[in-house]
Chains A and B, each alone.
Chain A
Amino acid sequence: MVFDPVLHEHLWMSVTGQVLIVLGSLVFLTAMVGIVRLPDLYTRSSAVATAAGVGVALILLGVFFFVPGVTTAVKLMAAVLLQLVTSSVGAMAVVRSGYLIGSAVYSPTHHNELEERTEGAPGPGKEGRS
């Protein structure tokens, strides 16, 4: 199957797919800016988890409009659902481990539930290491 997106038979499908792909790319752009500019591990991980869930889901939805069909729909829907469910789980696991090995907490943060829950366990502590 040779596929030419310009000569797509339905123009609206091509346009919708491209709009969805551009939206997903913009989510990735925010994640990109976030992972450079945000101050500590926890905020960075929030930016990355957003991109992993919403960004990948939007891009895969947009790709579906270019290659329509039942098999593509099943595969891409499974991928999107898995991505939406598991991205947050992975990010939370990484951040919890990062807290336990003592990643610094950005100093304006003033609500730290993990500090009370992991009493006695090693962590950044009240003063915060860097």
Chain B
Amino acid sequence: MIGILFGVLVLTASVVVAGVRMFVGPNDANRVIASDLLFFSVIGLIALLGVLVGSRAVFDLVLVATLVGLLATVSLARALTNGRR
């Protein structure tokens, strides 16, 4: 139990820190990297929430989130350069 709570604490702090980096980031690429970290922290938070609440439906959510995470990252990377590779 204490391990799960520690995980929730660290992941929440990670969301906050990623938000700070997104705010102060020197350019847009740093903001994209911070949004990446924020997204993965939220995936971990969703999984830990599933354990705490005792729901199995949450794991479908985790699977879909990992699928969509790559799409979000790659499309943000394309949007950074206006489609140029």
Contact = CB atoms under 8 A, between A and B. Distances in A.
- Same complex for A and B? Answer yes
Interface of A: 1-6, 17-19, 21-22, 24-26, 28-29, 31-32, 35-36, 41, 44-45, 48, 51-52, 55-56, 59-60, 62-63, 66-67, 69, 71-72, 75-76, 78-79, 82-83, 86-87, 89-91, 93-98, 100-104, 130
Interface of B: 1-4, 6-7, 10-11, 13-14, 17-18, 20-21, 26-30, 32-34, 36-37, 40-41, 43-44, 47-48, 50-56, 59-60, 62-63, 66-67, 69-70, 73-74, 76-78, 80-81, 84-85
A66 B51 contact: yes
B48 A91 contact: no
A36 B20 CA distance: 9
Given A78-B63, A79-B63, A97 B36 contact: no
